[in-house]
Structures are given as C-alpha cells and as structure tokens.
Amino acid sequence: MNFRKTTLLALSFLTIVIASCSTTRPPAKADPRYQSRDLSEWLRDFDLQNYSPEKQALAADAIRHIGPSAVPFLMERLSEERFKQTKIKQKKWLERQKNAVFTVKFPTDPRHEALAGLDALGPAAVDALPELEKLLLENPPDTRALYVVARIGPASIPLLTRFLTNEDKRVRLESKLCLEMLNTRSELLYPRILVGPDAPSFDRRLCEFNVKILQRAFKEYHASHPEMDFPQPPPPSLPPP
C-alpha cells in the first residue's frame, strides 16, 4: 500500500473517531437500588396519574434510605431540556385525546418525580441547591423548586435571601414566605409525622404551600390598594387528606 493510500485511510479513521467522540453523550448517572427496586422505579410512585399517598410514603422512605447517593441521579432529571421534552410530550398527548378512541397514559414528569425525591431527602439534598437555583432562573421560573429548596433547611437561606430581590414578583413572595417558615419551623416544612401512610405527601404539602402563597398575595394586594372596597373572601383551603 503506497503512502498516499495509507494517509487517506488514517485520516478517514481519525475523522470517524472524532465524529463518534463528539456525538457521544455523557454516561447517565447511576440508578441506585433499595429493596430490589431501582430509584427510577421508586420515583414512578410519585406519578400523579396513579396517585396513592401510601405508595408515595413508601417511595419517600426508600429514597431516604438511599440517601445522598440519590442526589446526582435526581439532579439529572431536573434539566431544562428534559423538562421541555416532557412538555412537548404532554402537549401531543392532549392533542391526541381530541380524537382518541382508546385511553393513552399521560406522560410522566421526570422533574416532578425528582423534586419529590429531593423533598424526601430534605437536608441530605444540599448538593442539589445549585441545580434547583437554575429552575428559578428559567423563563418562566419553576417555583415548585422554592418549596424544595426550603425543605433542605438552613443551608438554603443564602439562596432564598438572594431571590428576595428577583424581578419576578411570585419568586420574591415565595422566597419571603419560605424564609418565614424556616424561621418559625413551620409544620409545612417540618411535618410532625415524617414516615408512614399518615405522613403528608409531597403533593399535599406543595398544594398547601400554594394556598399560603394565594393568601399572602391577596393580603398584600389588599394592603396596597386600600381604595378598593371589596369584601374579604374566605381564605382558600384544601379538603381534608
């Protein structure tokens, strides 16, 4: 084989190697296991389509047993790109339902599952704070992250304090409320029942947090518009669990 052919073959091989390297995705984070189930399987129990407080309680307890080693896997599921793909899938699902003749399962939300997992870890999820902060910088911000940030405990105070001056009014309002709840050790952040079927689920507590935000928003609006003479509505509330 002459020199020219050898050189061309070498260059071709090098091109293939470079192309394959440039298109190779980074390896996925390890999927930890507990009681013969992968973490990804436990996370599916947070799927709102099959809501079960008992299953969620067991899943939360399993994630606490896995501990901080679950954080890298959970952080990967928070990514904005994955969240956008979820929204696209959900939109397509809604479009298909217009003429659907059979039931198709609603697409799961990996971010919601990850937030529920981080909520279960509480202070053990401290390494996830930078990723949770990214969710608050999205457009629009994913304010579910603020409640999970507060659940991490005192380590979240610097982040929450920074967001008190955020340009988004809801982010400012929620950050202020989260700091107040940390200061008073609100039961919404520190439930008396931590484990078992009677423990308040992540979704229940998140809904209660949103109710508090509605109450606070109305109170602030009423205070800043005293000229508006309208009756005080009953505070929003959730039905008993």
Confidence check: pLDDT of 80 > 70: no
> DSSP characters for 150-165?
HHT-GGGHHHHHHGGG
Q: How confident is the model at residue 217 (pLDDT cuts 50, 70, 90)?
A: confident
Average pLDDT on 215-230 reads: 72
In a domain, 118, yes or no: yes
Kindly give, in sequence order, each residue whose CB lies less than 8 Å from that of residue 66, ignoring residues fewer than 6 positions away. Answer: 32, 34, 39
Pairwise CA distance, residues 193 & 187, whole Å: 10
Bridge partners (DSSP) of residue 33 are: 38
In a domain, 235, yes or no: no
Higher pLDDT, 122 or 84: 122
Phi-psi region of 25 (alpha: psi -120 to 50; beta: other; left: phi over 0): beta
In a domain, 203, yes or no: yes
Confidence check: pLDDT of 88 > 50: yes
Q: How confident is the model at residue 74 (pLDDT cuts 50, 70, 90)?
A: very high
| Total Cβ atoms within 10 A of residue 67 | 13
Pairwise CA distance, residues 225 & 82, whole Å: 41
Helix, strand, coil percentages, rounded to 5, for the chain: 65, 0, 30
Bridge partners (DSSP) of residue 38 are: 33
CA-nearest of 2, 46, 11 to 206 is 46
Output the pLDDT for position 169: 92
Confidence check: pLDDT of 10 > 50: no
Q: How much is the mean pLDDT over the chain?
A: 79
In a domain, 121, yes or no: yes
Q: How confident is the model at residue 19 (pLDDT cuts 50, 70, 90)?
A: very low
Higher pLDDT, 180 or 230: 180
> Which stretches of 25-80 are assigned E, i.e. beta strand?
33-34, 37-38
Q: How many domains does the chain have?
A: 1
Helix H or strand E encompassing 21 = helix 3-23
Confidence check: pLDDT of 81 > 90: no
Q: How confident is the model at residue 3 (pLDDT cuts 50, 70, 90)?
A: very low
> What radius of gyration, in Å, describes the C-alpha atoms of the chain?
23
> DSSP characters for 100-111?
-SS--PPPP-HH
Output the pLDDT for position 86: 53
Confidence check: pLDDT of 17 > 50: no
pLDDT in tens, 98-107: 666 556 555 6
In a domain, 241, yes or no: no
Higher pLDDT, 239 or 47: 47
Angle ∠(218,220,223) on CA atoms, nearest 5: 110
In a domain, 86, yes or no: yes
For residue 209 the two structure tokens come to: 């947090």
Query: Which domain covers residue 159, as residue numbers?
Result: 28-223
pLDDT in tens, 174-215: 999 999 999 999 999 999 888 777 888 899 899 999 999 988
In a domain, 9, yes or no: no
Output the pLDDT for position 97: 61
Q: H helices within 77-201, ranges in order?
A: 80-97, 110-121, 129-136, 144-151, 157-162, 169-184
In a domain, 126, yes or no: yes
Q: Are 123 and 190 in contact (CB under 8 A)?
A: no
Output the pLDDT for position 21: 43
pLDDT in tens, 26-67: 455 678 888 889 898 999 888 877 778 888 899 999 999 999
Output the pLDDT for position 7: 42
For residue 169 the two structure tokens come to: 């009014």
Q: Are 122 and 68 in contact (CB under 8 A)?
A: no
